[in-house]
Structure 1
Amino acid sequence: FVRKILVENAGGPAILDEYKEHGKLTDSARRHLVNIVVAHITDKEGCVPSKETKTRCAWGVVPLFPSLKDPYSRTGYEHFYDPKSNQGYISWRLKTVSRQSKHHGGHHSKKDARASGTSDSEGSGGPTAYRETCNHLELQLEGDQCKKAISFMNHCAEKDLIFEKMKATFKHRQLLIHDAAKSNTVLSVFPRFLDTKGLILQDFDVQFGTETASRLLEQWDSLKPKIIAEARTLTSTLHLTDLLSDAQGNSQDEGSDWQGWDSDMSSILLLAYLLPPSPGARNKSTKIRFREAMDHIVQFHK
């Protein structure tokens, strides 16, 4: 598979010849090899190829270039692509290609955002930034039909119908989010977010795609202990101690007014202590303490 890709693309035969002559590849040749492979799979599947395709490419490199095998890994090709962590040369190159693609199309996206009446943040990200949805939405309700669907959901007890109507009103919800005067009404207009598990994940999946939506979960088991370990090195405060206790799954003292989060959510909140403030923050923005910021977080009770 990889040999065929190299033979059919410019620069590929030279890489094969170099290995045949020297029995190894230079770093620049290895990078060129990855670039050719990634260019091929993005041409076939876009910037988000399947995990199977990436694994197949990584697996195909080692038999073709045995000196590139990693003797310390389980299969020998994880440094090209590790399906468990979604890391490796192939993943890193795909991210670079994706960033370059977004950069070249950035002006067009912002222009479209202004034309459609949606707002774009002064920065390049955040909840108010304009983004194209990764998944195609066949049916989106508007006007009276949208209002009827929202009213129906608020009184519906069937979970499947709630999910169906929520997906059909996704674009209306995005308009609310991008409207500064209405963004704080999302949970009152769509209260089923508060009592129906999975709706937030569905919206995230529609917006960013399945692979992106599942990426944090795929890496969470290895990431969570690192977050807790780093948080332990910080200057201790009562609130930080409570979060650490929850993150480690320890029960709270009875009588405490701290409601507590589950272990995973507490670990995510610990990131707020670890991540430095953005250097691009606007001077006019009001700074509040982390504990005060948490008062604005919606806590879902199971």
Structure 2
Amino acid sequence: MKTSRRPIKKSISPQSGGPTHRRKTDLDHQLVGDACKEAISFVVHSPNEKQIYQKMKEVFQYHQELVYSPDRSTDVLIVLPRFLDVKGLANQDFLLMFDDETSSKLLEKWDTVLKPKVIQLAKSLITTTDLRHLLKSAEKRTENDIETNWDNYMSSLLLLLHLLPPPAGGKRTKISASDAVGRLVHFHKSFCSIEDHLDRSHGRQPYLHAVGRRRSKIDNYYIVVDKRLVPCQATSGLCAFDELFKAHFVFNLTYDDTLVNFYTFVQTTIYNIDVGKTREAPSMIELRTKRLN
């Protein structure tokens, strides 16, 4: 499989917040110099996941230097390849960047607070076949487990994408929310070649790769970064998306242009990250202040 270097993408407008804003961290026991090199060598070769987690904490600052270096940001999965086979390392880094309270926001708020409101608001949108399927799945009222339906969590997240569709701008033709879904999550049927899919990908920003017998029965989720698969701990669509969102911060990656309204809303409204520092479209502010509250 051929790999390509990730292009350095610029944000749509200057801002001081978001996933590419470098965080100040004050962590103890950060390794430098030869001690850091030894720890990285240990991480690369060790079969002990518990020790890998500990050593990755101790080289967190080095990882940050790597992803924020213009010349080396694309090397992170080469230098620290255990992101590709040890689940949860990106989650750990996000916790080191923020805290437990911030990290748990989506999983705490979505099911009981936001999901019912999103479903209700989505019912006022112009009905399409895709939207009808998502509403049925989100409300768990599908009669048959048909192949086109995601689980209720992923379906409700995709309803939020329909409420915050891709922005128009630049030289690109605006695409629909249904078309933008493929920039967020891609379904891959079990036993089909993942390598073929990765070879055909064209440098898009991170997205979920959901592998299973059908969309409602996903066996494994992965985050695609630089044509490589970072395995998720998650078994549900909501938890997998939680990991995908955090990966932007951990790997210093901008949001996909077509999903910038959706991701920025999740960032500021759900995780409460960089509120007031990140540019928000009027539609996002209206949805938060007038319709979801």
TM-score, normalised on structure 1? 0.45
Higher RCO by CA contacts (8 Å cutoff, separation 6 or greater):
2
Looking at secondary structure, tell me which structure has more helix per residue.
1
How does the TM-score come out when normalised to structure 2? 0.46
Q: Whose Rg is larger?
A: 1
